[in-house]
Amino acid sequence: MSSTQRTAIVTGAARGIGAAIALRLAKDGYAVGVVDLHADKCADTVAAISEMGGRAVAVGADISKPDQAAAAVETIAAQLGGVGVLVNNAGITRDNLLFKMSDDDWDSVIEVHLRGSFLMTRAAQRHMVDAGWGRIINISSTSALGARGQVNYSAVKAGLQGFTKALAIELGKFGITANAVAPGFVVTEMTRASAERIGISFDEQVQRALTRIPLGRPGRPEDIANTVSFFASEDAAFVSGQVLYVAGGPRG
């Protein structure tokens, strides 16, 4: 990293994987724009970064809206400096079997994951192109390989992988890399909510997941954050267009 502090933006950073990523990037020396639907929900993440001596700002935005996505990027750039890293982590689940899935279940997942990532990337890449350096890191999932009851989620997570590869080709000449991290089963509030939605206990959901994880434990948000840290670093300067499955075993 240069002597001038770079700025990272992490979407969906109020809690879970996003919060862990924001904290890790702050530890790595980045100023961090913490983005979520409501700025007040980001207070704990910003406070934790401040306590470690880092710089952070909370921004509330519906990233599926073009004006809000663009405003979020410009607000962060104005307060913290030019954006060098973008982590497209924000996401929601609306799991259901295909014949039960509503139009809204499908559309809302597409809007947040794919449209939101597109809009944030389009807004942030200008700063990276101007600087001749950038890192775009998209959070995919093992669900990109297909998952029962997740045709919407599987579609967007697979779409993010294609999006990543296209970005790597298009933006590489500007010194910008694009990579994706695909988590397996990670213990978060989202996975707890998923268990409740399908009518099983979280303990049962964890036990089911463990049968498919060779390492014998579920993932932690920090496992994903550490991988993002690598992709954001100079050590990954010649790595682009890749998808890394972080799932405790050979997935993908």
Domains recognised in the chain with CATH numbers: 7-184+219-246 (3.40.50.720)
Encode pLDDT of 57-113 as tens digits: 999 999 999 999 999 999 999 999 999 999 999 999 999 999 999 999 999 999 999
The segments of the chain whose pLDDT lies below 70 read: 1-4, 252
**pLDDT score, position 4:** 62
Question: Which residue spans within 130-246 are E strands per DSSP?
Answer: 134-139, 176-183, 243-246
**pLDDT score, position 1:** 44
Local structure of 235: helix, strand or coil? helix
pTM: 0.95
Run of H or E including 189 = helix 189-198
How high does pLDDT run on average in the chain? 95
Q: Which residues are identified as catalytic?
A: 153
Starting at the earlier edge strand, list the strands of the sheet with 7-11: 56-60, 31-36, 7-11, 83-88, 134-139, 176-183, 243-246
Match 């919060």 to its residue by tokens. Answer: 19
